[in-house]
Structure 1
Amino acid sequence: MTRSGDSVVPNCRLAIAAFIVSLGGGFNFGYQLLITNSSENAFMQFLAASYSQLHNVKYRNDASEIVNLWGIILATFFWGATVGAFLIQVIAERLGRKIGIILSFCVQAASIIMAIASFYTNNYIMYAVSRAICGAAISVSIGIAPMFITECSPIRCRGTISLATAIMMQLALVVGAIVAMPQIWGQPHNWHRMYIFELALLVPAIVGTCFVKESPSFLASKGRNDEAVEAFAYYHGVRHREAETLLASEVSQFNTKSSGETPENFGLFSIFKFGVILSSIFIEKYGRRSLLLATFTLLAAFNVIIFACMLLFETHQSALLGYGVVVAIGLFNLIFSAGPCPIAFFITGELVSQGARAAACTWVIVLLNLMRSIVLVIYNPIENLLGGPLAYFVLFFPPCVICVVLIYYYLPETKGKTAEEAADDTKNLPKLCGKSKE
């Protein structure tokens, strides 16, 4: 019999559990981001009509007042997501990973029903509130789900199975782009069907999650050892007696490592999908650190190429330069989805031990939403000040360089290691990372 952790291929039960929790987490996150962009005109018409009905003031759907209000409504999703991020630790530790995921899915379902109701009542305020609630719930989902998957997975296949969130997110971008087309449901009279479709996918995810088992690591941390052994055997595909031995070994190692220590917080849609497929091939072969260093270096190089093509295109208006920008952006997306995009969703769980994992995931999601909000706020002013090409370069090139430096000096390899083993490896990193941590 294959010993738990010797194969990079997850067993069927683990794969199904990862698919279910990612359907309500990563999928809904990508879907929500896409549908409002692709069918923006339909939502703007809804907003103008609703504003006129509620306030007796008529505006064209392209009026500056409506455009600005629509920007605020879009931002409510990220405001809600930021609030939700601060709930991740509380929910994950007090209710558990499984119950936390189910709760977030149920709140998502309620917010989607509210969005559908806003269509029938022609109420943009209700729609804005639904987006804020949905953002909070999805933030909790994408914070807890990758943590749950990481804790349930054998170390050897942890990277492969943890790609579930990223894969479902990329699938959602494709699905969202299709259903939000004006020829499908991206029209003022039927945009609510996009939410009905989302709800139809979410309900099976809620039901399915009720039948998966809780994270064995979480159960062990709460002293529920019999349930932990049963869950370990379920997800790792081993016999009950072997599960007892392996789980006891993991718990003993965790207790030994953490005794006397304070845990630290470590801190083009087909192209995207193809990139995630490439990542599934490379992630276990080359490891997280090497893949991130290579992809971020390439992203920095392609940012320079994109900047140069955009700058030259403004001057020469050459079709060849325009095609160059398109190709460079396509390759940029391919590289991004092969490295940073999928790894970012699970590496926190690999770096941080059980006691601090929920807190670390909280701050990762907070930072994600904070950076997204900042870029949305400052991009237009910077573009007006510096021009499109230079604004792009200033906002996107430096972060890639900073990431390369931080990864090289501070990020240990986590492939095939526990969080404690990865932490021990930090003393072997290049000297500029500081003194060895004893």
Structure 2
Amino acid sequence: MRRLENDDDDGVGYIAASHMLRPSSVDDQQQSIALLQVPRNSRVRHESISSSVSDIDVPIYSTDNLTTRPPYQQREAGLNGRLAFAIAAAALGSSFQHGYNTGVVNAPEELIEKWIADVILYRTGVYPDQSSVTLIWSVAVSIFCIGGMIGGVITGLVADRFGRKGGLLFNNVLVLIATFLMGLAKSAGSYEMMILGRFIIGINSGLNAGLAPMYLAEISPINLRGAIGTVYQLVITISILVSQILGLGSLLGTADKWPILLAITIVPAIFQVATLPICPESPKYLLLTRGKDHEAERSLAWLRGTIEVQDEMDEMRSEYEAMKIIPKVTMRELIVNDALRIPLLISLAIMCAQQLSGINAVMFYSTKIFKMAQLSSEGAQFATLGMGAINVLMTVISLILVERAGRKTLLLIGFSGMFIDTILLTFAMVNVAAALWISYCAILFVLIFVVMFAIGPGSIPWFLVSELFTQSARPAATSLAVCVNWTANFLVGLGFLPLQNIMGPYIFIIFVVILGVIVVFVYKKVPETKNKTMEEISAMFRQQSYQ
């Protein structure tokens, strides 16, 4: 029998007691549900209610419109309307900022550079040289990643102080400030406002990159944890595609409308502020961090759409009891404790691998490659949109496959495919002028590279960190992992162009070497976490640390 502690103040509560009567014959078995009326605030323990009752289950009837199942009908939790609503509220308002503000600056680059030159001319009376304008524009683009690093560093602090849901809601204040600065920069004649706005929205995106996957992982049933975790990357790919479409010259990619293009980032923030308050806080945060058992159970019941959540609650309570023995995990503990250092190294390596794989370089090269294949500028732009659409489609497929094939399998397929494809792409880029068919092959290799990235390396790193750590270590580990991801992103953006000017198409050899190392690392070190509980994953790392 499981215990109910109903903390409603008055009225009458109900206990659902499932029992099985003794069969009168081998083939005759009856099952029934007995409803026993008891006062609220009562505590039901292992007393026998009736001689015919062999097991009593006591769920909470505190949430309306929930279904009830007898405990003997055990089944895996599935996706329901409330869980889907919580996923949309958390992901659309957070990862959209990450993807949209990554891709939104590409289309209006020339327009904004001309505006910067005009601002300098107005201030000084001297038209600036192109190098000065390019430097200012480079700062505006790259400072987004610096903000992301800072957001990553403070993720753990925000997650513990405000909660996962509370942190996501609080983070929208930064969106409001950034939208104001970027949207009014042109009217104010201040490129400094745009740079500051990019920095602030970068902090917002860095926080989102830690908080949203953490929230999604903690509200997910074990059997859907990977698929739901993939939603974060899916929204990133969709938002990048949206930014590319809106940036077309026929829409908002004009000299007058590009401030609107930057300010549209407020829309997903409004959506999140309107929807996320309806959703509960992460039940794991409520129980394991705040010690609020009843609130955690109500939160879990809301998310599952059923009052039969005792199995999950028992698992969380076991983790909670274990956490009482272990002090709160600090950054130092992550490094010196063998059982924590191993998953930390795996998390940091996979986050680095995602950015150092060359995906941003291939994205940068895509338009140039399309032009080499004798596509017009407009044709190359639409081809780039097609590549973005393929990225979205393959991320959807990854969402379906991740709970079937597993995390490690998809990472191996993705990184191995990128390794082989990059070798072929390097060959094609070196010989692209030799024949037209080689340029077409280069286009194909770019598309294949994006497909391989989207299968696993694009999405899995974001939620793998949450799967590898217990509740006490998760915020600190997520902070480090997200910071490393943004740092690697910044280094690629900073170093790619200078190296490309020196090495030309041979720069892809660097990515070939990195991808080769990554494939070996994933095969040797990365564990499979599919359908494993946190207790099982932790035990696996403890065993490795003792060997």
* Structure 2 counterpart of 1:238: 306
Matched, 1:339 2:450: no
Residue 200 of structure 1 and its aligned partner are, at CA, apart by: 2.6
Contact 1:30 / 1:170 at 8 angstroms: preserved in 2? yes
In structure 2, C-alpha distance between the alignment counterparts of 1:357 and 1:17, rounded to whole Å: 21
- Further displaced range: 35-44 or 372-381: 372-381
* CA deviations over 1:33-91 (Å, ceiling 9, x no partner): 1110111112112211222234443236xx12101211111111111111111110100
In structure 2, C-alpha distance between the alignment counterparts of 1:319 and 1:8, rounded to whole Å: 53
Alignment of 1:5-404 (within 5 A): 6-7=75-76, 9-59=78-128, 63-221=130-288, 222-239=290-307, 242-253=308-319, 255-256=321-322, 259-260=325-326, 264=340, 266=344, 267=347, 268-314=387-433, 316=434, 318-387=435-504, 389-394=505-510, 396-404=511-519
Percentage of matched positions with identical amino acids: 23
In structure 1, C-alpha distance between the alignment counterparts of 2:117 and 2:157, rounded to whole Å: 39
What letter matches 2:145 in structure 1?
A: F
What letter matches 1:234 in structure 2?
A: W
Contact 1:7 / 1:157 at 8 angstroms: preserved in 2? no
In structure 2, C-alpha distance between the alignment counterparts of 1:324 and 1:280, rounded to whole Å: 28
Number of equivalenced pairs: 424
Contact 1:17 / 1:209 at 8 angstroms: preserved in 2? yes
In structure 1, C-alpha distance between the alignment counterparts of 2:70 and 2:123, rounded to whole Å: 65
* Structure 2 counterpart of 1:432: none
In structure 1, C-alpha distance between the alignment counterparts of 2:97 and 2:104, rounded to whole Å: 11
Contact 1:163 / 1:280 at 8 angstroms: preserved in 2? yes
Residue 319 of structure 1 and its aligned partner are, at CA, apart by: 0.9
Residue 398 of structure 1 and its aligned partner are, at CA, apart by: 2.2
What letter matches 1:404 in structure 2?
A: V
TM-score, structure 2 as length reference: 0.74
Residue 5 of structure 1 and its aligned partner are, at CA, apart by: 9.4
What letter matches 1:185 in structure 2?
A: L
In structure 1, C-alpha distance between the alignment counterparts of 2:176 and 2:70, rounded to whole Å: 40
In structure 1, C-alpha distance between the alignment counterparts of 2:201 and 2:542, rounded to whole Å: 42
What letter matches 2:492 in structure 1?
A: V
TM-score, structure 1 as length reference: 0.91
Q: CA RMSD in A?
A: 2.2
* Structure 2 counterpart of 1:437: 546
Residue 377 of structure 1 and its aligned partner are, at CA, apart by: 2.0
Residue 436 of structure 1 and its aligned partner are, at CA, apart by: 5.3
SS of alignment partner, residue 187 of structure 1: coil
Contact 2:145 / 2:486 at 8 angstroms: preserved in 1? yes
- C-alpha spacing 1:5/1:13, structure 2 compared with 1 (3 Å): farther
- Further displaced range: 157-166 or 44-53: 44-53
Residue 163 of structure 1 and its aligned partner are, at CA, apart by: 1.8
In structure 2, C-alpha distance between the alignment counterparts of 1:399 and 1:427, rounded to whole Å: 29
What letter matches 2:316 in structure 1?
A: E
**Structure 1, gaps ≥5 residues long:** 429-434
Q: Which has the higher helix share?
A: 1
In structure 2, C-alpha distance between the alignment counterparts of 1:272 and 1:335, rounded to whole Å: 9
What letter matches 1:16 in structure 2?
A: F
In structure 1, C-alpha distance between the alignment counterparts of 2:416 and 2:401, rounded to whole Å: 16
Equivalent of 1:417 in 528, 532, 537: 532
- C-alpha spacing 1:151/1:418, structure 2 compared with 1 (3 Å): same
- C-alpha spacing 1:170/1:379, structure 2 compared with 1 (3 Å): same
In structure 2, C-alpha distance between the alignment counterparts of 1:137 and 1:195, rounded to whole Å: 15
SS of alignment partner, residue 284 of structure 1: helix
- C-alpha spacing 1:156/1:58, structure 2 compared with 1 (3 Å): same
In structure 2, C-alpha distance between the alignment counterparts of 1:74 and 1:88, rounded to whole Å: 22
In structure 2, C-alpha distance between the alignment counterparts of 1:187 and 1:5, rounded to whole Å: 58
- C-alpha spacing 1:363/1:54, structure 2 compared with 1 (3 Å): farther
* CA deviations over 1:126-173 (Å, ceiling 9, x no partner): 110010011001110121001001001110111111222111111112
Residue 193 of structure 1 and its aligned partner are, at CA, apart by: 1.5
Residue 248 of structure 1 and its aligned partner are, at CA, apart by: 2.7
* CA deviations over 1:203-258 (Å, ceiling 9, x no partner): 1212211221100000002111111111111112220xx33453133221454488
In structure 2, C-alpha distance between the alignment counterparts of 1:333 and 1:2, rounded to whole Å: 47
Residue 346 of structure 1 and its aligned partner are, at CA, apart by: 0.7
In structure 1, C-alpha distance between the alignment counterparts of 2:141 and 2:153, rounded to whole Å: 20
What letter matches 1:321 in structure 2?
A: I
